[in-house]
Amino acid sequence: MRRYAASAPVLVLILVQMGHACLDSQSAYRFTGTVCRLTYPAALVLNEKTTKVIEAAFQHARYPSIEGEKSMSIFGKVDYGLHNLEIYNLSIGRSEVELRPNEGVGIAISNVSAVFKGRFTYAYSWLISVSQSVDFEIESHIDLAINPRLYCGRGKVAADTSDCHLIFHKLNLHLQGDREPGWLKRIFTEFVSLTVQLVVKGQVCSEINSVANILSDFIQETAENFLSDGGIGVDISVTSAPVITSNYIESYHKGLTFYNNTKAVITASVFNPAQLGEERMLYFWISDEVMQPLMTAAHLDGRFVRYISGQELTLLFSAPVLKVWSVSAPDLWTTPDGTHVKAMAAVEMTSGSGASSLYVEMVRKALISFFRKQKECVHKQCVCVYFSSFVLDLEHGITTLLDRQGLNLFDIMNHDVIPQNGYVLIQMDFGFPHHLLVEFLRKTLE
């Protein structure tokens, strides 16, 4: 079978790290190794726990003390201070999300209920000098509107949440359980309430922006850690700002393998947005130009070495161990028929004296050529059996590696792997990744 043209080393390992600044999406296509498309149904699933993130923003916000002065017709100049403002009894009703083409994401949080507690100090001179402090509580009902703008920043998808609005529908002030004289409450209610509104809005919106960027870093780091093992890793920095339509958010990533201070380069990716669908919740597009350097790095790192032993070897040969390893980096290419691998593997079977007895060359996935040294061709059957065992062990090893990286913690459903010319498309549905939320909140609130 003719090898796909991408096998010519467009993607090679080099000593100099090469990167690209954020480009417009079409210019970035040819530098893109992996693509992630998150459709609107997936956004709805993720939005189920948006309230938890918003709660973290409210609780993690630090409300500063405010001091100033205000002129009042009765008392003249009044010095005031708001101190120790904290939030209690926080609950959030529901969250709604909207994808806005070429703009961003609209998030509406409704029916936020909270109690703010603090201490109000005031001092004035009217006939006599007066200086007092009063504990206060404010019961509030709030709606929150956030319109994050997604952009390409520092190599990742970043969020600007400066378009943030708090709408206070209820704001009831209680001064020391209303035991203070009614005139004090009437005079200061509007003033204290307005000041608390300004403080809460500024700090909560600021904290939401901070949490959004922490979340962006967390997602990027989690993905990079998942794709890293030992000295092998993948640079998934974005090549362009994400594209947003009413049906999906799509991000473009470099997908550059790095190993021992070397990094791959992609300059001729075959990506086109029309290659992805919109029916599933999540799509991953992975270029051959990502997988080929991973194969090369795994070979250089000695990952393709296997020792096989068993009763059949003991019966046929004096040595019970068969060693299989890659002689050179395998070549990989994908067609609609599947992913093809062409490699040369050495098979060494040692006799009792330690002399090598057999050498095997493997071509593609199943075509194996044998070169006899001391044994007859009848022994080829044994080698075939044990090579099949080696492949099964390799599959098990990959599965174990993915589980160790945390893939088994995801609730993945209805997944398909679709090979095409020069790339693989993975499409799936999923349940909410609760373990990621727990880990994110732990890091955010610590």
Are 20 and 67 within one domain?
A: no
Instruction: Using the predicted structure, report yes or no on whether residue 287 has a pLDDT greater than 60.
Output: yes
pTM of the entire predicted model = 0.78
Provide mean pLDDT across the span 49-71. 82
Q: How many CB atoms lie within 10 A of CB 354?
A: 7
Are 145 and 266 within one domain?
A: no
- Residue 402 maps to which CATH number? 3.15.20.10
Are 378 and 411 within one domain?
A: yes
User: Minimum mean pLDDT among 7-16, 55-64, 301-310, 391-400: which range?
Assistant: 7-16
| Domain carrying residue 381 | 5-38+232-430
Provide mean pLDDT across the span 186-201. 79
More confident residue, 147 or 316: 147
Give the separation between CA 89 and CA 139, rounded to whole angstroms: 10
Query: End of a domain among 224, 246, 263?
Result: 224
Are 394 and 332 within one domain?
A: yes
Question: pLDDT tens digits, residue range 289-313?
Answer: 999 999 899 899 988 887 766 665 6
Instruction: Using the predicted structure, report yes or no on whether residue 383 has a pLDDT greater than 50.
Output: no
Instruction: Using the predicted structure, report yes or no on whether residue 261 has a pLDDT greater than 70.
Output: yes
* 324 contacts 306 by C-beta, under 8 angstroms: yes
More confident residue, 176 or 139: 139
SS (H, E, C) the chain: CCCCHHHCCCCCEECCCCCCCCECHHHHHHHCCEEEEEEHHHHHHHHCCHHHHHHHHHHHCCCCCEEEEEEECCCEEEEEEEEEEEEEEEEEEEEEEEEECCCEEEEEEEEEEEEEEEEEEEEEEECEEEEEEEEEEEEEEEEEEECCEEEEECCEEEEECCCEEEEEEEEEEEEHHHCCCHHHHHHHHHHHHHHHHHHHHHHHHHHHHHHHHHHHHHHHHHHHHHCCECCEEEECCECECCEECCCEEEEEECCEEEECCEEECCCCCCCCHHHCCCCCCEEEEEEHHHHHHHHHHHHHCCCCEEEEECHHHHHHCCCCEEEEEECCCCEEEEECCEEEEECCEEEEEECCCCCECEEEEEECCCEEEEEECCCCHHHHHHHHHHHHHHHHHHHHHHHHHHHHCCHHHCCEEEEEEEEECCEEEEEEEECCCHHHHHHHHHHHHC
Please report whether residue 350 resides in a domain: yes
Please report whether residue 438 resides in a domain: no
Are 169 and 209 within one domain?
A: yes
Please report whether residue 239 resides in a domain: yes
Are 190 and 61 within one domain?
A: yes
Query: End of a domain among 189, 224, 259?
Result: 224
Instruction: Using the predicted structure, report yes or no on whether residue 78 has a pLDDT greater than 70.
Output: yes
Question: pLDDT tens digits, residue range 322-377?
Answer: 777 888 888 888 888 887 777 777 777 765 555 555 655 555 453 322 233 333 33
More confident residue, 386 or 305: 305
Q: What is the pLDDT, as a whole number, of residue 105?
A: 93
Q: What is the pLDDT, as a whole number, of residue 341?
A: 78
Provide mean pLDDT across the span 29-49. 92
Q: What is the pLDDT, as a whole number, of residue 257?
A: 95
Are 30 and 90 within one domain?
A: no
Mean pLDDT of the residues in the chain: 77
Are 66 and 19 within one domain?
A: no
Q: What is the pLDDT, as a whole number, of residue 223?
A: 84
Instruction: Using the predicted structure, report yes or no on whether residue 258 has a pLDDT greater than 90.
Output: yes
Instruction: Using the predicted structure, report yes or no on whether residue 407 has a pLDDT greater than 70.
Output: no
Are 335 and 279 within one domain?
A: yes
- Residue 52 maps to which CATH number? 3.15.10.10
Instruction: Using the predicted structure, report yes or no on whether residue 186 has a pLDDT greater than 90.
Output: no
Number of domains present in the structure of the chain = 2
Please report whether residue 443 resides in a domain: no
Instruction: Using the predicted structure, report yes or no on whether residue 382 has a pLDDT greater than 50.
Output: no
